[in-house]
Amino acid sequence: MELRSHAYLAGIRLPVRSAKSRKAGLLASVCAPALFGVISLAASDPAVAACMGPGTHTSTGGTPQTKCVTAVQITPPSAKPLRSFDISFVSKERDEYYLGDRSNKGVDVINTNSLAFVRTITGGTGACSSCTFVGVVVNKKGAVDNNHSGPDGVASHGRWLYAGDGDSTLKVIDLNIAGPNAIVQSVSTGGTTRVDEMALTTDGKLLVAANNAEDPPFATLFNANGDNATSTVSIIAKLTVNPTIIPPGFGLSLEQPAWDPNTQRFYTSIPVIANNLSGCNYGQVAGPITCDGGLLVTDPKNPQPVYGAYTATTNTGVIALHSCGPNGATLGPHNNIMLGCTPGNNPSDTITQVINVKTLNFVNVGNVTGSDEVWHNSGDNRYYLGASKDCTTPGSPCPAATQQTAVLGVVNGTTNFLIEKVPQSSGSHSVAADSEHNRIFVPQVAPVSVVGTGGDTTTVGQQLCGSTNGCVVVYEHKVDHDHDEDHNDQRAER
């Protein structure tokens, strides 16, 4: 997804487990990465340990509850250092983590039990033998062009992994095919920019994906594969928003969707909508953006080509939000959806928000902002926030970009209070969690000295990774099932 600076929107950016037997003797959580056998240092790097530096402390200097345990390197023979990546996802069914890795033109796969790098899926097979990902596209200034790079959003159900690409296509991957060439289908959405964030229904039969960088933006509702043995993905409908709500020509956007099985609706973040508040600036005049965002509610059984304002009788349309311009969205407990509000959309929106999609009541989460991808982990009932634009100095509007830093935000899923913020490499905006082990996966870019524009301008990522290649850092929250007040055991519901 990646945060898009308004109005030209340059840029940065959920799961069900089947019952299955678990391997005995699961990997113990330790802080010595060498024990995992997954650290692969760059040839020029000294032999240094991972899980070091500011990323092992809270932003106030204390020891975090969410503790760094190792760093997983992306290690195919021709792997490039991580300059650009996007959304990540965990499959509890397959014990795998997936990352849209533009730097290596593929989707990286990590085993969530052994914490070992498995492969990068880069190409296709059969009728899709020529299918590949776009990779990193740069603009005239040499910066990453997020609107045309890929892969971007990812989501999975069973053997099927779906990935958006920078050429406006949805790539369908059969995870049962070994090796790097597992793309079996490529479906065009008819745009000219990337297919970005996406969400699946619980049964995996319907998928919504947003073309966030189109102008005006749109989403696509697909027939997905569910538990089928072969891929037959097809487009059901193109979904747009009334131009009085998302006026064309101003670079407005649609972002991360989430699926709620109780209401049987998709909820898609809209960073900025017109006239929210009345007379606000959505880009039609010079100066900072002052309009707040919205939340698009769609019924996949009755898709509409154009959505207007929210209608309670049909439970569809655009809900106008207050004090929030969201990128991320994730379903938590009790029909609550956390929204990744960010000053990257509206400089005055300096909180995070949780909204109940049945009552439309909401609560603001203070002292953390600037999120892109957000994730609810049912294993410890905590929200994890890829907050790449958190305000270093609190204020409204948020101070200039030089006073914004990246953190992993941790929020209690019951009280909606902020628990802690853990420093990350600059631009860190992607996060996903494995609820079986309460492991949280946070990719880090390589230093700017290695990859140039878009690289880490701090030393946080290098110290976390133990190398200058970038990596996926694994945090863990150990839960005391008898005494930890944050834990909300939902295994009986699986």
Rounded Cα distance between 35 and 97, Å, is 20
Phi and psi angles of residue 426, each rounded to the nearest 5 degrees, phi first: -60, 140
Instruction: Please state the length of the chain.
Output: 494
| The pair of three-digit structure tokens given for residue 30, joined into one six-digit string | 């330790």
The one-letter amino acid at 243: P
Strand ranges for 213-293 from DSSP E = 218-223, 234-241, 257-260, 265-270
Q: What is the mean pLDDT of each run of 10 residues along the chain (494 residues)?
A: 43 36 35 36 53 95 94 90 97 97 98 97 97 96 95 98 98 98 98 98 98 98 98 98 98 97 98 97 96 98 97 98 97 97 94 97 96 97 97 82 90 97 96 97 97 95 97 92 44 36
Rounded Cα distance between 123 and 173, Å, is 9
- Give me the pLDDT at residue 19, please: 35
Helix, strand or coil, per DSSP, at residue 431: coil
- Give me the pLDDT at residue 481, please: 53
Phi and psi angles of residue 102, each rounded to the nearest 5 degrees, phi first: -70, -35
- Give me the pLDDT at residue 17, please: 37
Residue 28, in any domain of the structure: no
Rounded Cα distance between 211 and 107, Å, is 19
Number of domains in the chain: 1
Domain range for 432: 4-9+39-493
Rounded Cα distance between 298 and 289, Å, is 26
Phi and psi angles of residue 444, each rounded to the nearest 5 degrees, phi first: -125, 135
User: Which CATH number belongs to the domain containing residue 314 in this structure?
Assistant: 2.130.10.10
Rounded Cα distance between 295 and 316, Å, is 10
Residue 415 CA, chain-centre distance (Å), reads 23
Residue 30, in any domain of the structure: no
- Give me the pLDDT at residue 78, please: 79
How many CB atoms neighbour CB 493 within 10 A?
Answer: 7
The one-letter amino acid at 286: A
Residue 158, in any domain of the structure: yes
Q: Which helix (DSSP H) or strand (DSSP E) does residue 399 occupy? A: none
How many CB atoms neighbour CB 188 within 10 A?
Answer: 13
Residue 284, in any domain of the structure: yes
Cβ–Cβ < 8 Å for 136, 149 = yes
Residue 18, in any domain of the structure: no
Cβ–Cβ < 8 Å for 470, 82 = yes
